[in-house]
Structure 1
Amino acid sequence: MTVNDDSFTNWKNREEIAESMIPMIGKLHRERDVTVLLHSRSLVNKSVVSILKTHRFARQIAGEELSVTETLPFLQALTTLDLGPSQIDIGMLAATYRSDDRGLSVERFTADAVAGATGEGKIERREGRDVVLYGFGRIGRLVARLLIEKAGSGNGLRLRAIVVRGGGQQDIVKRASLLRRDSIHGQFQGTITVDEANSMIVANGNEIKVIYADDPTQLDYTAYGIKDAILIDNTGKWRDREGLSKHLRPGIDKVVLTAPGKGDVPNIVHGVNHDTIKPDEQILSCASCTTNAIVPPLKAMDDEYGVLRGHVETVHSFTNDQNLLDNYHKSERRGRSAPLNMVITETGAASAVAKALPDLKARITGSSIRVPVPDVSIAILNLQLARETTREEVLDYLRNVSLTSPLKRQIDFISAPDAVSSDFIGSRHASIVDAGATKVEGDNAILYLWYDNEFGYSCQVIRVVQYVSGVEYPTYPAPAV
C-alpha cells in the first residue's frame, strides 16, 4: 500500500467516526439542551467535513493535531450521563485529560469534569423566552438566522415576530427571500416558507409573525400571543433611554439595542461586562461591532501587562449607511461612493471603551477608514504597556486566552501566514488575533484583530440576549480564570 493509500484510508476512517458523532451531538442538543463544543466552536448541526475541519483547526491554536479518535470517547461518555442544560467542550476535555495524572478512565474523568451539569446541582430546563426583532436589515436577518439555529430543543430563545414598515406588494415574500439567500453569508441552512394570508414566515418549523408598524407606540404584542419578550432593536433609530422606552409595550419586558447606546444606557460587551447587567434593567445596548472587537483583547492585555495608553485604527468594510454612488449624505465623506473609495470617517469605539471597561485608566483614541469590501474588518490596536515583554510571550498568552480563559468565545487566534479578510466571514468570535502580524518591541505591542463586523457581532448580541433571558448555560470544563 502506498503512502497516499494510507492517508486516504485514514481520512475515510475519520469520516466514519465523525459521522457516528453527529446523532450523539444532535440527541444531546434536542433532548437535554446540551451544546457540544470543540474549542468554543459548536458542533451542533455540523456536517462530517465541518467536524473534521474544526478538529484540524485546533492544530493552529494549540500547536498539535486533535483527532476525532481522541474526542469520540468523551462524547460517548457524555451520552451515558444524566446531563442538564449546558455547553460542554470535548476539545477541552481531551486537552485536560492529557495532562491529568490521576490515572482515571475517560468515563470517570468526564463525569468529574462536568459534575456541575449532573445530579442535584444541574440546571433544570427552562421555558422558552419570546424574542421580537424590530427591524430586519443586515444585523436583523443574521440575528434571525442565529435564533432559528439555536431553537434546537425549543427550550431556549424563540423568535416570535419581526416588526417592519410596510414595503408594498409581496413585501413578506421579498423579506423571506432576503432571509433565505445572502450574498455574503450564503444560503439559509434549512427551509423557509411564506404564509402570506397570516403574514407569517415559517423557518425550520419556527412560525415568525411579520408585523407592520411605523411607530413602536402603536403596538400591543400580547395581541399576537407574545409575552415577557426581549425586543432587539436593529434599526438604531433610537439610542437613548427615552427613545428606546417606546418599545416597552404590552408583551415586551426588555429592549436590546444593536448599536452604541447614548446617555445612561449600559453598553454591554459580552464576556467583559455582561455580568454587570442589573436584573431589573430593561434597556441596554450591545455597543458597536468595533467596540466588541477591541474591548476583549484590550481587557486581556490590561489584565496581564497593564495598558498605559492606546490607539485603535479600524479598517472597516463599507455599510448601508454609505452611498453606492456619489450622492448627498449628512456626513461629509460618507456621501462618496463606497465600492470605489477608501473613506476616512469617525468611530465611537474608542470612547465606548470607557463604558465597557470603566476600570481601565488608559486613554484610548481611535479613527476609522471604510474600504471597498462588503464584510470583515480589521482593528489595529497599538498599545503602550506597563512593562516590557516579547512577541513570543504575548502570542503565547493570547493563544492561551483564546483556548482556556473566560474570553475564549470572544477572542480567536490564527497563525496562518496567508490569512486575508474573506477567511473570517462567518466567524462567531468578536475578534481574531492575527499572530503573524503581531508586533512587540519592549513596552509597545501592536495587535491586528480581524472581525466579521456582521456575523461575529450578531453572535455577541445573541450571547447578551441569552444572558439576560436566563438561557445562557454554563460551560464545562470551566474556563480558567
Structure 2
Amino acid sequence: MTVNDDAFTNWKTREEIAESMIPIIGRLHREQDVTVLLHSRSLVNKSVVSILKTHRFARQIAGEELSVTDTLPFLQTLTTLDLGPSQIDIGMLAATYRADDRGLSVEEFTAEAVAGATGENKIELREGRDVVLYGFGRIGRLLARLLIEKTGSGNGLRLRAIVVRQGGDQDIVKRASLLRRDSIHGQFQGTITVDEASSTIIANGNEIKVIYANDPSEIDYTAYGIKDAILVDNTGKWRDREGLSKHLRPGIDKVVLTAPGKGDVPNIVHGVNHDTIKPDEQILSCASCTTNAIVPPLKAMAEEYGVLRGHVETVHSFTNDQNLLDNYHSSDRRGRSAPLNMVITETGAASAVAKALPDLKAPITGSSIRVPVPDVSIAILSLRLGRATTREEVLDYLRNVSLTSPLKRQIDFISAPDAVSSDFIGSRHASIVDAGATKVEDDNAILYLWYDNEFGYSCQVIRVVQHVSGVEYPTFPAPAV
C-alpha cells in the first residue's frame, strides 16, 4: 500500500466517523435543545465534510488537527447523560481532558464537565419565545435564516411574523424567493413554500405570517396569536426611544434595533456588555456591524495591555443606501456609483465605543471608506497601548482569546497568508483577527479585523435576542475567565 493509499484510507475512516456523528448531533438538538459545538462552531445540520473541516480548524490550538476519533467518545457520552438545554463544546472537552492528569475516564470527565446542564441543575424545556421581524431587507432575511435554523426542539426562538409594506402583485412570492436565494450567502438550507391565501411563508415547517402595514400603530399582534414577542426592527427608520416605542403594541414585549440607538437607548454588543441589560428594559439597540467588530478585540486588548488611545479606519463594503450609478443622494459622496468607486464616508462606530465600553477612557477616533465589494469589510484598529509588547505575544494572546475566552464567539483568528475578504462570507464571528497583517512595535499595535458586516452582525443580533428572551443557554465546559 502506498502513502497515498494510507491517506485515502484514513480519510474514508474519518468520513465514516463523521457520518455517525450527524444523527447523534441531530437528536440532541431536536429532543433536548442541546447544541453541539466544536471550539464555538456549531455542528448542527452540518455535512460530513463540514464536520471534518471544523475539526481541522483546531490545528490553531497546538499545531495539529483535532480528529473526529478524539471527539466521538465525548459525543457518545453526552447521549447517556440527563442533559437539559445547553451548548456543549466537544472540542473544548477533548482539549481540557487531554490536559487533565487525574486519570479520569472520558465518561467520568464529561459528566463532571457538563454537570451544570444535568440532573437537578439542568434548565427545563420551556415554551418557545415569539419573534417578529419588522422589515425584511438584507439583515431581516439573514435573521430569518438564523431563527429558522435555531428552531431546534421548538422550545427556543420562534419566528412568527414579518412586517413589511405591500409591494404589489405577488409580493409574498417575491419575498419568499429572496429568502430562498441570496447572491452572496447562497441557497436557503431547507424548503420554503408559500400560502398566498393566508399570507404565510412556511420555511422548514415554520409558519411565518406576512403582515402588511405602513406603520406600527396599524397592528394588533395578538390577532395573529402572537404574545410576549421580541420585535426586531431592521428598518432603521426609528432609532430613539420615542420612535421605537411605537412598536410596543399588543403582543410585543421588547424591541431590538439593528442600528445604533440614539439618546438613552442602550447599545449592546453581545459578549461585551449584554449582561448590563436590565430585565425590565423594553427597548435596546445592537449597535452597528462595525461597532460589533471593533469593541470585542478592543476590550480584549484593554484588559491585557491597557489602551491609551486609538483610531479605527473601516474599509467597508457598499450597501443599499448607496446608488448603483451616479444620482442624487441626501448625503455627501454616497450619490456616486457604489460598484465603481471608493467612497469616503463617516462612521459612528468610534463614538459608539463609549456606550459599549464606558470604563474605557481612551479617546477613539474613526473614519470609513466604502469600496466596490458587496459584503465583508475590514477594520484597521491602531492602538497606543499601556505597555510595550511584541507581535508574537499579542498574536498568542488573541489566538487564546479566540479559542478559550468568554469572547470566543465574537473574536475569530486566522493565520492563512493569502486570506482575502470573500473568505469570510458567512463568518458567524463579530470579527476575525488577521495574524499575518498584525503589526506591533513597542507600545503601538495595529490590528486588521475582517468582518462579515451582514451575516456576522446578524449572528450578534440573534445572540442578544436569545439573551433577553431567556433562551441563551449556558456553554459547557465554561470558558476561561
Question: What is the TM-score when the length of structure 2 is the normalising length?
Answer: 1.00
Deviations 1:165-188 (A, max 9, x none): 000000000000000000000000
CA offset digits 1:366-425 (Å, max 9, x no partner):
000000000000000000000000000000000000011000000000001110000000
Distance 1:473 1:242 in 2: 32
Displacement after TM superposition at 1:121 (Å): 1.1
Q: For residues 310-352 of structure 1, give each alpha carbon's deviation from its aligned partner in whole angstroms, at most 9, with x where no partner exists.
A: 0000000000000000000011100000000000000000000
Change in CA separation of 1:349 and 1:294 when aligned onto 2, cut-off 3 Å: same
1:257, 1:286 within 8 Å by CA — same for their partners in 2? Answer: yes
Note the 1:245-394 alignment, pairs <5 A: 245-394=245-394
CA distance in structure 1 between the aligned counterparts of 2:392 and 2:114, rounded to whole angstroms: 33
Q: How far apart are residue 257 of structure 1 and its match?
A: 0.1
Deviations 1:4-49 (A, max 9, x none): 1000000000000000000000011011110000000000000000
Take 1:241 and 1:459, find their aligned partners in 2: how far apart are those partners? 24
What are the superposed Cα offsets for residues 428-454 of structure 1, whole Å, 9 maximum, x if unpaired?
000000000000000000000000000
Q: Provide the rounded CA distance (Å) in 2 between the counterparts of 1:74 and 1:402.
A: 22
Looking at structure 2, the residues matched to 434 and 332 of structure 1 have their Cα atoms a distance apart, in angstroms, of 32
Q: 1:61 to 1:318 in 2, by over 3 A?
A: farther
Q: Distance in 1 between matches of 2:123 and 2:301?
A: 34
CA distance in 2: counterparts of 1:9 and 1:418, whole angstroms: 30
Deviation for aligned residue 1:60: 3.2
SS of aligned partner of 1:316 = strand
The equivalent of 2:471 in structure 1 is 471
What is the CA-CA distance between 1:126 and the residue it aligns to?
1.4
- Cα distance in 2 for partners of 1:126, 1:453 equals 33
Give per-residue Cα distances to partners, 1:235-285, cap 9 Å, x unaligned.
000000000000000000000000000000000000000000000000000
Report the 3-state secondary structure (helix = DSSP H, G, I; strand = E; otherwise coil) of the residue aligned with 2:58. Answer: helix
1:94 Cα deviation from its structure 2 partner: 0.4
- Measured in 2, the distance between the counterparts of 1:300 and 1:248 equals 36
Shift of 1:122: 1.1
Q: CA deviation at 1:119?
A: 1.4
Matches of 1:407 and 1:64 in 2, distance apart?
A: 23
Asked whether the 8 Å contact 1:390–1:442 carries over to 2, the reply is yes
**SS across alignment from 1:427:** coil
Could you tell me how far 1:61 is from its partner in structure 2? 4.8
Distance in 2 of aligned mates of 1:63 and 1:293: 27
Q: Distance in 2 between matches of 1:129 and 1:206?
A: 13
The alignment partner of 1:368 has SS state of strand
- Measured in 1, the distance between the counterparts of 2:219 and 2:270 equals 30
- In 2, are the aligned partners of 1:61 and 1:414 still within 8 Å (CA)? no
Separation of aligned partners in 2, 1:413 and 1:58: 11
Contact persistence 1:131–1:159 (CA under 8 A): yes
1:77 is paired with a residue whose SS is: helix
Question: Does the residue aligned with 2:232 lie in a helix, a strand or coil?
Answer: strand
Residues in 2 aligned to 1:126 and 1:410: alpha-carbon distance in whole angstroms: 27
Tell me by how many angstroms 1:208 deviates. 0.2
State how far apart, in whole Å, the 1-side matches of 2:395 and 2:126 are.
40
Output the CA distance in 1 between the equivalents of 2:314 and 2:189: 31
CA distance in 2, matches of 1:62, 1:466: 32
Q: Tell me by how many angstroms 1:117 deviates.
A: 0.4
Provide Cα deviations, 1:80-126, integer angstroms capped at 9, x if missing partner: 10001100000000000111000000000000000100111111111
Provide the C-alpha distance between the structure 2 equivalents of 1:54 and 1:64, rounded to a whole number of angstroms: 13
Name the CA distance, whole Å, in 1 between partners of 2:60 and 2:436.
Answer: 12
Could you tell me how far 1:73 is from its partner in structure 2?
Answer: 0.5
d(CA) in 1 for partners of 2:122, 2:63 = 34
Q: Where does residue 26 of structure 1 map in the other structure?
A: 26
Distance in 1, matches of 2:63 and 2:472, equals 30
In structure 2, relative to structure 1, the CA distance for the partners of 1:320 and 1:189 (3 Å cut) is: same
Note the alpha carbon deviations across 1:45-97, whole angstroms, 9 max, x for none: 00000000000111135422100000000001111100011000000000001
Q: Is contact 1:381–1:448 with CA below 8 Å preserved after alignment?
A: yes
Distance in 1, Cα, partners of 2:215 & 2:280: 25
SS state at 2:339 partner: coil
Alpha-carbon distance between aligned partners in 1 of 2:6 and 2:357, rounded to the nearest angstrom: 53
SS at 1:339's partner residue?
Answer: helix
Q: Answer with 284-293 or 60-69: which moved more.
A: 60-69
Deviation per CA, 1:213-248, whole angstroms, max 9, x where unpaired?
000011100000000000000000000000000000
SS in 1 for 2:147: helix
Distance (whole Å) between structure 2 residues aligned to residue 63 and residue 446 of structure 1 = 25
Deviation of residue 159 (structure 1)? 0.2
Specify the SS of the correspondent of 2:23.
helix
Residues 61 and 328 of structure 1, relative CA distance in 2, 3 Å threshold: farther
Q: Distance in 2 between matches of 1:389 and 1:226?
A: 54
Q: Report if the CA contact (8 A) 1:60-1:416 is conserved.
A: no
8 Å Cα contact 1:219/1:249 also seen in 2: yes
Return structure 1 stretches of 4+ with deviation > 6 angstroms: none
Distance in 2 (CA, whole Å) between partners of 1:173 and 1:122 is: 42
Instruction: State the SS of the aligned residue for 2:347.
Output: coil
Q: Distance in 2 between matches of 1:400 and 1:222?
A: 47
Indicate the SS of the match to 1:284: strand
SS at match of 2:359: coil
Task: Give ranges in structure 1 of 5+ residues lacking alignment.
Answer: none
Relative to structure 1, the CA distance from residue 62 to residue 269 in structure 2 (aligned partners, 3 Å threshold; closer, same or farther) is: farther
Sequence identity percentage? 93
User: Which residue in the other structure is 2:186 paired with?
Assistant: 186
Deviation readout 1:106-156 (Å, 9 max, x if unpaired): 000000000100111111111100000000000000000000000011000
Counterpart-to-counterpart distance in 1, 2:178 and 2:60: 35
Cα distance in 2 between the residues matched to 1:115 and 1:63 = 30
| Distance of 1:58 and 1:181 partners within structure 2 | 31
Counterpart for residue 63 of structure 2: 63
Displacement after TM superposition at 1:457 (Å): 0.2
Q: What residue number does 2:156 align with?
A: 156
Q: 1:217 to 1:62 in 2, by over 3 A?
A: farther
CA contact (8 A) 1:230 1:255 kept: yes
TM-align CA RMSD? 0.5
Return the alpha-carbon distance in structure 1 between the equivalents of residues 61 and 234 of structure 2: 34
Which SS does the other structure have where 1:384 is aligned? strand
Q: How many equivalent residue pairs?
A: 481
